Amino acid sequence: MQENNRVALFSDDPDWHARRLTDALARRGVEAVWLSFTDCSFDNSSPTSGLVLPGFETELPSGALTRLIDPGTLEQITTRLDILHALDALGIVVSNSARAIERTVDKSMASFLLANAGLATPLTWTCESPQKARAILQHQTRNGGKLVLKPLFGAQGKGLRLLDASSPLPDPEEVDGVYYLQQFIDTTTGGEGWHDWRVFVIGGKAVAAMIRRGKGWITNVLQGGVCEAAPLESGLVDLAVAAARALGTDYAGVDILRDHEGRFQILEVNSVPAWKGLQGVIEVDLAQAIVDDFLSRIDATSPVRIAG
């Protein structure tokens, strides 16, 4: 690190992850200044950068780690991402970047980019029209298949619905005006019970993986999924690394399942992942690995950053 050893750690909630990152930074002689997005603002009358970050009045941070962005209105989320965009425009390393977060949090854009990168991902449709969504549902379920309906900006397995040929399509208000439909893959067919993989990719390398075993088809830890360390087998790892690269994440938790033919398929790439469950079943210190990758990015840029 060069001219100052203070970095911004964005987290509206000073949770276990933020503390782990803070400790990992301290181990490398770097101070984490915790910032809540709600305390940050823009002020283009200011003589410095136009960005107001508490604790960085005279000098901008050497880098910024994005740990958590709280839910908010469209305007609030846009403003929070703008703060990350502005830091990037000022030449500051932001990990994960606003661009990576935008591409991954929006499940439709992520599916588009994954498919366009030629990566295996389930068939997925996004549309506003309920007529179109109904036609897709009817067609795709005509032979007994099922579709998963997901909130476009959903997380932690919340709000997912399994639809079959007899399911009524929810009204547009129930899906915030956008239908995100995905081919359902039954992971119990091999006799293993409900399961999928979470692979953690940092700096282009898969550093850890786990199988999540669910009580039902939704395997998220928050929905009762049980974590089990998994080997970093090549098919799984290659796909996870390619997915993280396609979406531009510095670090990511990649969700992958295996289809009936035994092929791995990417469900999503989490650019603001939690890793407490995974950390509980593996040896490698994920916070330290994230921090070390982040600091290496700062060192690689080495610009002189002086506010003003």
Interface region with Mg ion, contact rule CB under 5 A, candidates 9-17, 78-86, 118-126, 253-261? 253-261
> Is 206 strand, coil or helix?
strand
Shortest gap between Cβ of 120 and ligand ADP (angstroms)? 12
Q: Using CB under 6 A as the criterion, what x/- string covers residues 275-294 for binding ligand ADP?
A: --------------------
Place of tokens 């915030």: 176
Shortest gap between Cβ of 187 and ligand ADP (angstroms)? 6
Strand (E) or helix (H) holding 81: helix 74-89
Q: At what angle do helices 286-301 and 16-27 cross, to 10 degrees?
A: 50
Phi and psi torsions of 37, nearest 5°: -55, -35
Which residue number, 12 or 255, has a Cβ lying nearer to Mg ion? Answer: 255
CA 129 from centroid of its chain's CA atoms: 27
Interface region with ligand ADP, contact rule CB under 6 A, candidates 59-67, 179-187, 201-209, 243-251? 179-187
How far apart are the C-alpha atoms of 167 and 146, rounded to whole Å?
Answer: 10
Q: Using CB under 6 A as the criterion, what x/- string covers residues 113-132 for binding ligand ADP?
A: ---------x----------
CA dihedral 55, 57, 58, 64 (to 10 degrees): 60
- Let me know: does 178 contact 269? Beta carbons within 8 Å: no
Q: Judged by CB under 6 A, does residue 221 bind ligand ADP? A: no
Phi and psi torsions of 181, nearest 5°: -115, 140
Q: Judged by CB under 6 A, does residue 104 bind ligand ADP? A: no
Using CB under 6 A, count the residues that bind ligand ADP.
23
Q: Judged by CB under 5 A, does residue 250 bind Mg ion? A: no
Residue 263 contact, options ligand ADP, Mg ion, none, Cβ 5-8 Å cut-off depending on partner type = none
Shortest gap between Cβ of 159 and ligand ADP (angstroms)? 7
Shortest gap between Cβ of 35 and ligand ADP (angstroms)? 25
How far apart are the C-alpha atoms of 21 and 18, rounded to whole Å?
Answer: 5
Interface region with ligand ADP, contact rule CB under 6 A, candidates 85-93, 178-186, 226-234, 293-301? 178-186
Residue 182 contact, options ligand ADP, Mg ion, none, Cβ 5-8 Å cut-off depending on partner type = ligand ADP
How far apart are the C-alpha atoms of 164 and 180, rounded to whole Å?
Answer: 15
Q: Judged by CB under 5 A, does residue 255 bind Mg ion? A: yes
Q: Please name which of 283, 256, 89, 96 lies closest in space to residue 185, comparing C-alpha atoms.
A: 256
Instruction: Name the residue whose CB lies closest to ligand ADP.
Output: 219
At 280, which amino acid appears?
A: G
Residue 247 vs residues 23, 115, 169: alpha-carbon distances, Å = 28, 11, 30
Shortest gap between Cβ of 56 and Mg ion (angstroms)? 33
Q: Using CB under 6 A as the criterion, what x/- string covers residues 43-82 for binding ligand ADP?
A: ----------------------------------------
DSSP H helical ranges for the chain: 16-27, 74-89, 98-105, 107-116, 130-140, 234-247, 276-279, 286-301
Burial class (CB in 10 A: 0-12, 13-18, 19+), 4: middle
Q: Which two tokens stand for residue 121?
A: 């991902």
Interface region with ligand ADP, contact rule CB under 6 A, candidates 53-61, 182-190, 233-241, 275-283? 182-190
Interface region with ligand ADP, contact rule CB under 6 A, candidates 55-63, 137-145, 217-225, 273-281? 217-225
- Let me know: does 39 contact 54? Beta carbons within 8 Å: yes
Q: Which residues bind Mg ion (CB under 5 A)?
A: 255
Q: Which residues bind ligand ADP (CB under 6 A)?
A: 122, 148, 150, 154-158, 160, 182-185, 196, 214, 217-220, 255, 257, 267-268
